[in-house]
Amino acid sequence: MKSQVFFIPAAREDGDEVLAEKAEKIFLKIGLRNQIEKKSFVAMKIHFGEKGNTGFIKPQWIVKIISQIKGITSRVFLTDSNTLYVSKRSNSLEHLSLAREHGFSQETLGIPVIIADGLIGRDDDEIQVNLSRIKSAKIASAILNSDILVCLTHFTGHILTGFGAALKNLGMGCASRAGKLEQHSDVHPWVNPKLCDNCGVCFNYCPSQAIVEKGDSAFIVEEKCIGCGECLVVCNQGAVKFNWDSDSVRVQEKMSEYAFSVWKHLKGKISFINFLIKVTKDCDCMSDGQQPIVEDIGILGSLDPVALDQASVDLVNKRSGKDILRAGYDLDWSVQLSHGVKIGLGSRDYELIEL
């Protein structure tokens, strides 16, 4: 059976107010609002954007969704989890301070902002799933203790998974640090010494001090590597390699299984909204103002994260006239979707309903 995906064309030129109205329209159409009760805890999962990043969903675009939820319950909050790698978002204090810098705060939005997996990413609970890649998932406790989840996602390309959208926000974004580590543990990059000019850039970016100098080039100490993928992105020489096919397949399948664990725990009470606005080659964890790879497309929403991501990819590729995601990183981004179907998380078959 086809899943319904709602779509409304939108672009930055619309201005913040119109974008907020369009996002509200999508949220209402999805229909999850009817399941929110006066005492429901509602988590609004978002990415606050790395320092220097400019692509993240702007706080002004979600104010009307917040108002809708606040009209029913005061127990609504904005949240994200801490990062695996060392950054301004790897502990709650600096993470909240950066969120505030980017406009996400009680003062600006009228609801609390909390970090879902606690001070240093250790507040989690384990969900049993017994799937092929994972037996259990380590999920941030504030997500698991909520009754309703509103998953707000900026659609982007991604170095490890081809693209990052609802499935990634749910699977990777709701995992605690240990959960993220488990999903990245299959990524094993190495340096091709013939391409490396020993510039040293990756040494500074590696959060685990896993890159050392060996002879005239960089060398990755596998035992120390946490698989975050930073070195893949920052090397301008293309000297850092990883097994695109096998490593990426495993990461994507684990990510889908993590997404399934949250979905199963919350009994499907999750509303997914993707923003296809300023779609960039890399995700919002990058600390720079990337240029978009395609014109702005719009806002999509669904109760089915697989259908939503499939529809989002289709619109992005249709607008660019080619598989622009594969042009960015030559890996099969569809694995997360097909695995999502296999484990019962959703359908790739969808009906796109334009509002």
Dihedral of CA atoms 294, 298, 302, 304 in degrees, nearest 10, equals 0
CB of 166 to ligand SF4, least distance (A): 25
Give CA–CA dist 330/337, Å, rounded: 17
Which whole-number Å values give the CA distances from 113 to 91, 106, 127, 177, 310, in the listed order? 14, 7, 24, 19, 30
CB of 335 to ligand SF4, least distance (A): 20
**What letter represents residue 139's amino acid?**
I
SS3 label, residue 54: coil
Q: Which of 220, 249, 307, 335 binds ligand SF4 (CB under 6 A)?
A: 220
Give CA–CA dist 120/170, Å, rounded: 20
Pick 76 or 226: Cβ nearer ligand SF4: 226
Does position 73 interact with ligand SF4 (CB under 6 A)? The reply is: no
Q: Which of the residues 189 through 208 are near ligand SF4 (CB under 6 A)?
A: 189, 191, 196-202, 205-208
Pick 43 or 206: Cβ nearer ligand SF4: 206
| CB-count burial class (<10 Å; 0-12, 13-18, 19+) for 130 | exposed
Does position 225 interact with ligand SF4 (CB under 6 A)? The reply is: yes
Residue 200 CB coordination number (10 Å) = 10
Among the residue ranges 166-174, 175-183, 237-245, 288-296, the one whose residues contact ligand SF4 (CB under 6 A): 237-245
Pick 167 or 218: Cβ nearer ligand SF4: 218
Q: Which of the residues 154 through 193 are near ligand SF4 (CB under 6 A)?
A: 189, 191
Does position 239 interact with ligand SF4 (CB under 6 A)? The reply is: yes
| CB-count burial class (<10 Å; 0-12, 13-18, 19+) for 230 | buried
Does position 237 interact with ligand SF4 (CB under 6 A)? The reply is: yes
**What letter represents residue 140's amino acid?**
A
Q: Which of 111, 210, 297, 308 binds ligand SF4 (CB under 6 A)?
A: 210
Q: Which of 23, 116, 235, 293 binds ligand SF4 (CB under 6 A)?
A: 235
CB of 283 to ligand SF4, least distance (A): 15
**What letter represents residue 151's amino acid?**
C
Does position 211 interact with ligand SF4 (CB under 6 A)? The reply is: yes
CB 160 within 8 A of CB 196: no
Give CA–CA dist 339/312, Å, rounded: 17
Please give the span between the terminal C-alpha atoms of the chain, in angstroms, as a whole number. Answer: 21
Does position 227 interact with ligand SF4 (CB under 6 A)? The reply is: yes
CB of 200 to ligand SF4, least distance (A): 5
Does position 76 interact with ligand SF4 (CB under 6 A)? The reply is: no
SS3 label, residue 253: helix
- Using CB under 6 A as the binding criterion, the count of chain residues that bind ligand SF4 stands at 30
Pick 188 or 319: Cβ nearer ligand SF4: 188
Where along the sequence are the contacts to ligand SF4 (CB under 6 A)?
189, 191, 196-202, 205-208, 210-211, 217-218, 220, 225-231, 234-235, 237, 239-240
